[in-house]
Amino acid sequence: MDAPFLTVRNLTKHFAPTAFSRGPVVRALDDISFDIARGQVVGLVGESGSGKTTIGRSVLRLIEPTSGEIRFDGVDITKLSAGPLVRQRRKMQYIFQDPFASLSPRMTIGQILTEGLDIQGIGSRRERRAKAERALAAVELPVDAYDRYAHEFSGGQRQRIGIARALTLEPEFIVADEPVSALDVSIQAQIINLLRDLQVRLGLTMLFISHDLAVVEYICDTVIVLYLGRIMEVAPAAALYARPQHPYTRALLSAIPSLDPLARQGRQVLKGDIPSPANPPTGCVFRTRCPVALDACAGIVPPLRATTSDGHLKACIRDDIA
Amino acid sequence: MTITAPDPAIDPTVVPTAGPQTKGPVRRALDRFFDNRAARAGLLIVVPILLAVSTYSLWWPFSPNAIDLRAINKGPSAIHWLGSDGVGRDVMARLLQGGRISLLVAVCSVAISIVIGFLVGAVASFGGRLVDGTVMRFVDLAMTLPPVIFLLVLASIAGTGIAPTILVISLLSWPVLSRMVRARLLELRERDFVVAARGMGAGLPHLLFRHGLPNCIDILVVYATLQIANAILLEAGLSFLGLGIAPPEASWGNMLNLARSTVVLEQYPWQWMFPGAVLVLTVLAINFIGDGLRDAFDPRSDLN
Ligand SMILES: Nc1ncnc2c1ncn2[C@@H]1O[C@H](COP(=O)(O)OP(=O)(O)OP(=O)(O)O)[C@@H](O)[C@H]1O
Ligand code: SF4
Ligand SMILES: [Mg+2]
């Protein structure tokens, strides 16, 4: 296989209090490293507050990371200066969670869809319109949406518009930040299918964020499980669901509602609340809720390492429970 | 077999048809504005005044500084509808010219304070923490100065006349606006559609003028209207004190100044009553319009 398309190394983000807000430093991300190969869809799963959005936005440099390296096709975008960064932005786009907040109420759909082309100075007015209309067609919306305002559309339609906007610049890489979690269940499948189709047809590389393992299973090649700003487990989707290695992943999987009574018996429910990222536990961050924690877990930060031959990486010191 | 209409919530190809053309948020706000009775009444007063003031030289026979020696301190008559003043000038002509000056001063000072207020608010909110901190402390300072004293000191430095009066009034009024703009833009900066624009490579001018300005339009319109009323009063106050528009140039304020003489106050009431009445009426009407605009642009009113 060739060199990975996206390489993230030791990404760390601490939100420090500002001059106007007090409070402790929030350790949103700690030492995150992963790769995404070209054309692959990688899922990023974790509970609310685990740092998924922070990773997604840092990777597109919408948030300045505290430290770490993010390489796109070999280019470290954390070191790009303003001009090259603007050009780099054509290649990477973001799809937002909330379809109501992500579209300007003051712009027509046409203005929203041509905005990126406008900023990047691509094409004449007519060409921009043509590209925008093609993007509308790609998300299966009629072209007469062009002159309307976002408030006239339903949540699912707005999410399609958000996806169309991300497509107009013809990016190679897309971060989809919980693109369906704000939608009705009846519409979620449609949007997921649409994303899957587009990803295959356009050969997109994608970081797909979700708090729901069931959604991720369908669309992703590889899954990253995040907890409190650290990676707990990385594995090919099939292997993760079939043989979860990390106690946290197991707990997450067993929390998925199931009709199978046998599966329900072995169900573990996570006790307690997720600790504050302002004051994470020492050693393994999961130890306060881990059903199989040992005393030793407080002492060392378990490194992410390969434990089996099926492409699994896990950050847990207990190999005896697998 | 039954044929059901496609459900727009499910079928993405069904786009709501709200009519032949769809209305943007500004259009919808204006619709609400024209539904408001007080606001319409305000318009009904202000528009004729504006028309009269701007065209009077075409249809009123007297000019504001022409002296009619046969009509000194005469009351309203068929020739001088609103009477004449102590040197035989036509009160109607002076009232119209005074309105022209008062409104000119108000509009110009508001325009200037809008530009300053928006830019300062924009720089503070998008300029980073250090710039924001510095600029806003400065704005706080400007706002804690007692306005009357600030006004008098400024006016005595700037002198009298139209331009200095405009300057003085605009310098006094922008800080309030810049705070509102800053608050709005700070919130806007974190909104997803602005993050999206940044993600597509938008620079500061794009963010400010394609997103910042349109999303401040309600603040600016309401501020402009209410501040015009305020500026008319400020001008009147300054001119009344002899600091704003100096005679022989007419303004509503310096016409009221005549009432400081007890003789005029008691014996020639038409010389101050008419400017006073028009001033009150105009300010009131503009306030009605401003309130109507504020309600029309209230983001909550879009929800129903
Ligand atoms: N601008 C910020 N300033 C301070 N703390 C922040 C900021 N943004 C995020 N955080 C904190 O960083 C942590 C991770 O947030 P993030 O939004 O990345 O989580 P998430 O996994 O996307 O959660 P969700 O599922 O709710 O979207 C949270 O504890 C959050 O409070
Ligand atoms: S390192 Fe210890 S606490 Fe952490 S997941 Fe493994 S067993 Fe649980
Ligand atoms: Mg998030």
Token code pair at residue B40: 């319409």
| 3-state secondary structure at position A13 | strand
In the predicted structure, residue A2 carries a pLDDT above the cut 80: no
Task: Give domain limits for chain B.
Answer: 31-54+89-298
Minimum Cα–Cα distance from B28: chain A residue: A106
Are the Cβ atoms of A98 and B199 closer than 8 angstroms? no
pLDDT band at A157 (very low <50, low <70, confident <90, very high): very high
Are the Cβ atoms of A144 and B15 closer than 8 angstroms? yes
Whole-model pTM over 0.95: no
pLDDT value, residue B222: 87
pLDDT in tens, A245-266: 999 998 888 876 655 555 555 5
One DSSP character per residue, B168-212 reads HHHHHHHHHHHHHHHHHHHHHHTSHHHHHHHHTT--HHHIIIIII
One DSSP character per residue, A191-258 reads HHHHHHHHHHHHT-EEEEEES-HHHHHHH-SEEEEEETTEEEEEEEHHHHHHS--SHHHHHHHHTS--
Name the residue facing B198 among A62, A112, A184 (closest C-beta).
A62
Place of tokens 């099926």: A310
Judged by a CB distance cut-off of 8 A, whether residue A137 touches chain B is no
Judged by a CB distance cut-off of 8 A, whether residue A85 touches chain B is yes
Closest ligand 2 atom, residue A232 Cα? 5
Rounded Cα distance between B242 and B230, Å, is 18
Closest ligand 1 atom, residue A229 Cα? 14
pLDDT value, residue A262: 54
Task: Report residues near ion ligand 3: CB below 5 Å.
Answer: A 53
Judged by a CB distance cut-off of 8 A, whether residue A189 touches chain B is no
| 3-state secondary structure at position B88 | coil
Rounded Cα distance between B213 and B204, Å, is 12
Place of tokens 């922008």: B174
pLDDT band at A77 (very low <50, low <70, confident <90, very high): very high
| 3-state secondary structure at position A38 | coil
Name the percent of chain A in helix, strand, coil, to the closest 5: 35, 20, 45
Rounded Cα distance between A263 and A78, Å, is 45
Judged by a CB distance cut-off of 8 A, whether residue A64 touches chain B is no
Distance in Å, CA A320 to ligand 2 centroid: 11
Gyration radius of chain B's alpha carbons = 25
Are the Cβ atoms of A86 and B215 closer than 8 angstroms? no
Token code pair at residue A147: 């002159």
Atom 28 in ligand 1: residue holding the nearest Cα: A49
Each residue's pLDDT, cut to its tens digit, for chain B (304 residues) gives 344 444 444 555 555 555 555 777 888 888 889 988 999 999 999 999 999 999 988 888 888 887 877 877 787 887 888 888 878 888 888 999 989 998 999 999 999 999 999 999 999 998 888 888 898 998 888 888 887 787 788 888 888 888 888 888 888 889 999 999 999 999 999 999 999 999 999 999 999 999 999 889 888 988 988 888 888 888 888 888 888 888 888 888 888 887 778 888 888 888 888 888 999 999 999 999 988 988 888 766 665 4
A69 DSSP 8-state letter? E
- Over residues A110-122, mean pLDDT: 95
Which ligand is closest in space to the CA of residue A280?
A: 1
* Residue predicted with more confidence, B86 or A147: A147
Chain A residue numbers with beta carbons less than 8 Å from the beta carbon of B204 are none
pLDDT in tens, A190-203: 999 999 999 999 99
**CA quadruple A255, A260, A263, A265: dihedral positive or negative?**
positive
Is cis: bond before A244, omega within 30 of 0?
no
Does the beta carbon of A292 sit less than 6 angstroms from any atom of ligand 2? Answer: yes
Name the residue facing A141 among B12, B200, B302 (closest C-beta).
B12
pLDDT value, residue B5: 44
| 3-state secondary structure at position A11 | strand
Hey, which CATH number is domain B31-54+89-298, 1.20.1070.10, 3.20.20.140, 1.10.3720.10, 3.40.50.2300? 1.10.3720.10
Closest ligand 1 atom, residue A278 Cα? 29
Name the residue facing A103 among B18, B193, B217 (closest C-beta).
B193
Chains A & B: contacts with CB separation below 8 Å: 110
**CA quadruple A138, A144, A149, A152: dihedral positive or negative?**
negative
Atom 17 in ligand 1: residue holding the nearest Cα: A53
Rounded Cα distance between A156 and A173, Å, is 22
pLDDT value, residue A131: 95
pLDDT value, residue B304: 47
pLDDT value, residue B1: 39
Rounded Cα distance between B161 and B216, Å, is 33
- Over residues A288-303, mean pLDDT: 89
In the predicted structure, residue A118 carries a pLDDT above the cut 80: yes
Atom 25 in ligand 1: residue holding the nearest Cα: A48
- In sequence order, the 6+-apart residues with CB closer than 8 A to the CB of B145 are none
